[in-house]
Every structure is written in C-alpha cells, then in structure tokens.
C-alpha cells in the first residue's frame, strides 16, 4: 500500500531501520478505516485494535471513573498517531483508555498483532513506541493535575489559550457542552465561567463558539 508507506516514512523515524520484511509486514497489516462522528473507536480494556495514523478528522481519548464520568485526556488531529489503542503490545503500559470519533475520521490502522511482532523484533520501533506512549502519558498526567489542583477559572483560561494556539485563531468553534467534556467538568461550571469571562472582557460568546478578546489577560489568569 503506497499510501501507507508514504505516511510511515513521514511519521515513523525508525522506517529506515526496518528490514524489507518488516516494512512489508507493516504494509500487509495496515488498512484504511473510517469512523463516523460519535463512533466508539476503542473500548478500553475490551479492545486492542492497533496503531491508528490519522489522515483526517479528530479522535478524543478519555478515561472513565467508577461512576461512569468521562475525563478527556487529550485529542488527536490530522496526522497524529494513536499509540495507546495498541497498549496491549506495550508491556510497561497498563493504562486503559477509551477513544471516540469527535468528527468523521479517516485513518490507517495497523493491527495489534503486526505491531507486537515489530516491537519484538526491532529495537528502534520499540523505542519509538515507548517514547510516543511516554508523551501521551505525560499529557494525561498534566490533565489530571489540572483537574486535581487548579481552580476551574484557571483551567478554562488554559484550555482557551491552548485551543486557540492549536487552531491558530482567536475564534474557538466549541459549545459549552464540548468545552465541559474536554475539561472534565460540568456544563454549568463552564457556562458560569464563560459569563464571568465575558463580563471581564476576556472573551465574546456566540452560539456554538467563543472568541478571545484579551489574550494577555487570559494568559495572566492561566499563569502562563
């Protein structure tokens, strides 16, 4: 599959360290997949689908509390790699996550069996996989630290700044429900804080979106 090969070369820095048979293994066990918005892509401990290389769309990675509350850990966008959907192939990684499609998403999926074989036989691929997993676990730890130790207004300020930088724009096309889900809090909390931020002149709200008006004030509140 030439498309897969091209993307692997671009994203996997261990590609030139693979043997021809290992390259063939990746290609033979990789297929295009499509997920409609709202589809559950990975069902935590019930799944180990493999590694996803996102071509277009958005996936949300989250965990569940015992009472069923979702906590968003991070999101994946175009050309990101979902490594924790293959956590069963990583001996030292036991943190189970759930993954949903936030938008219609196209990706390349390399199945877990092929990934396991590759990690067992190639030290460069194994180092890459653990490095990727380590980065994601660091993101997850940062999100959990925010939830545990930061006030809600500071967390919202951080979220808005980070989201704006990710989009490269002041306008953030998210509803209060979406923001609450991504922050791991209640919609009522977000609505109250957005009202306060609006009164202070930090943001301007409209249906389905927020626009940052005073970036420096938000950064000060966020402690950046």
Q: Residue ranges of the domains in the chain? A: 2-148, 150-222
CA distance to 1, 28, 34, 45, 100, per residue, from 7 (Å): 10, 14, 17, 28, 23
pLDDT tens per residue, range 165-191: 989 999 999 999 999 999 988 899 999
How many C-beta atoms lie closer than 10 Å to residue 148's C-beta?
7
108 with 7: CB under 8 angstroms?
A: yes
The rounded distance, in Å, linking the Cα atoms of 89 and 108 is 18
2-148: which CATH number, 3.30.750.24, 2.60.120.10, 2.30.110.20, 3.40.1170.60?
2.60.120.10
Q: Which CATH class is domain 150-222?
A: mainly alpha
Mean of all residue pLDDT scores within the chain? 90
pLDDT tens per residue, range 75-121: 999 999 999 888 888 876 767 789 999 999 999 999 999 999 999 99
The rounded distance, in Å, linking the Cα atoms of 30 and 52 is 9
Query: What average pLDDT does range 124-131 have in this prediction?
Result: 93
Percentage of residues of the chain with pLDDT beyond 90: 66
| Confidence (pLDDT) at 1 | 64
Element (H, E) at 143: helix 123-149
pTM: 0.80
Residue with tokens 């569940």: 64
């Amino acid at each position: 599959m030439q498309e897969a090969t091209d993307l692997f070369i671009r994203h996997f820095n261990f590609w030139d360290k693979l043997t021809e048979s290992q390259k063939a293994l990746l290609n033979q066990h990789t297929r295009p997949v499509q997920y409609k918005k709202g589809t559950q892509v990975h069902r935590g401990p019930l799944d180990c689908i493999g590694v996803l290389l996102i071509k277009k769309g958005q996936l949300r990675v989250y965990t569940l509390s015992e009472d069923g509350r979702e906590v968003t850990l991070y999101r994946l966008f175009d050309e990101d790699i979902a490594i924790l959907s293959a956590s069963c192939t990583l001996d030292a990684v036991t943190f189970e996550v759930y993954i949903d499609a936030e938008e219609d998403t196209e990706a390349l999926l390399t199945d877990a069996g092929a990934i396991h074989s590759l990690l067992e036989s190639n030290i460069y691929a194994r180092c890459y996989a653990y490095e990727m997993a380590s980065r994601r676990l660091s993101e997850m730890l940062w999100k959990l630290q925010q939830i545990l130790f930061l006030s809600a207004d500071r967390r919202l300020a951080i979220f808005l700044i980070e989201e704006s930088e990710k989009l490269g724009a002041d306008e953030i096309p998210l509803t209060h429900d979406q923001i609450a889900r991504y922050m791991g809090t209640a919609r009522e909390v977000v609505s109250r804080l957005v009202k306060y931020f609006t009164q202070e002149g930090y943001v301007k709200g409209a249906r389905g979106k927020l626009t940052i008006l005073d970036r420096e004030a938000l950064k000060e509140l966020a402690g950046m």
